[in-house]
Amino acid sequence: MAIMSVTPASAPDLADRLRSTGYLPGESTALVSFLATRLGKPVLVEGPAGVGKTQLAKALADVLGRRLVRLQCYEGLDEAKALYEWNYRKQLLRIQADPGTAGEAAGRAATWREVQDDIFSEEFLLERPLMDAIASPEPVVLLIDEIDKTDQEFEAMLLELLSDFQITVPELGRVEARTRPVVLLTSNNTRELTEALKRRCLYLWLDYPEPELELEIVRLHAPDLGGDVARKLVEVVQLVRELDLKKPPSIAESIDWARALLLLGARDIDQDTFRETMSVIVKHRTDLDVVAERVGVKLAARSANGAAAGG
């Protein structure tokens, strides 16, 4: 069944549509995303890991009624895995099975040029995510995830696509986009990206949410969790993020913790509950020690103060 493409009328309209998918955007997120759909420019989304950069692309694809095409970047990623590569086995089989195909209409053996034209055609082209997004007959959302894990040579290769939405294949020539994709590039800001890349993009910085927004997110994804527990969860997560950790807890981990507390039937986050469940939000051994000492002590002190006040 075909998906009906939707075009938001305004930034507030897009914000409402994103919220309906379970993604709660800030004002700047909704505005930049709306401009991207209207201006046809890529968006570079930077911020710490786990603040919803990838999820924004998924939510946009849902809202716009488009297929999501995702290129997960990694060190050493090259054109063959990102753009296209030739199906060498199929080409070899074609040559071996019928070497005279290209010239048989003229009653002669095929020249090497004719063989090349035959085997270097779209029939033998394996599309990778970038080519898939460009060649798609229906508009898509293209997510180039964690672009900062690649090198500057890969960034340079992207410039033609981001500027003109086209790809040049030496054997075929220029392949232009049939439809213009909405493009999001995400970065965890582990290295500085080139000015040439940034110049072609709109820019969006996503940070950890303010407490009230995070509380709203937690309540959306764990609606049965008690209000006091949810609020205390957000307060503790904010405390943990203030520490010097290898990996501060992300929004996704806040949601996981809320669901874990709900499953365990927790009615409060006291020192014992925190120590038993903090591995849901803290993922490094050294971080566990720091968090247990700094945050656990604070929770113990609050419990003691509460008990004294009650007495």
pLDDT in single tens digits along all 311 residues of the chain: 344 567 899 999 999 999 999 999 988 999 999 999 999 999 999 999 889 999 999 999 999 999 999 999 999 998 888 987 877 777 677 767 665 555 555 445 556 566 666 666 677 777 899 999 988 999 999 999 999 999 989 999 899 888 888 887 777 778 888 888 999 999 998 899 999 999 999 999 999 999 999 999 999 999 999 999 999 999 999 999 999 999 999 999 999 999 999 999 999 998 889 999 999 999 999 999 999 888 877 787 666 555 445 54
* Token output for 42: 């890529």
Residues 234 and 255: their CA atoms lie apart, in Å, by: 10
Q: Using the CB atoms, write b or e for 168-186: b if 16+ within 10 Å.
A: eeeeeeebebeeebbbbbb
pTM above 0.75, yes or no: yes
Chain Cα centroid distance, residue 262 = 28
Q: Residues 59, 60, 62, 63: is their CA dihedral positive or negative?
A: positive
Residues 8 and 38: their CA atoms lie apart, in Å, by: 9
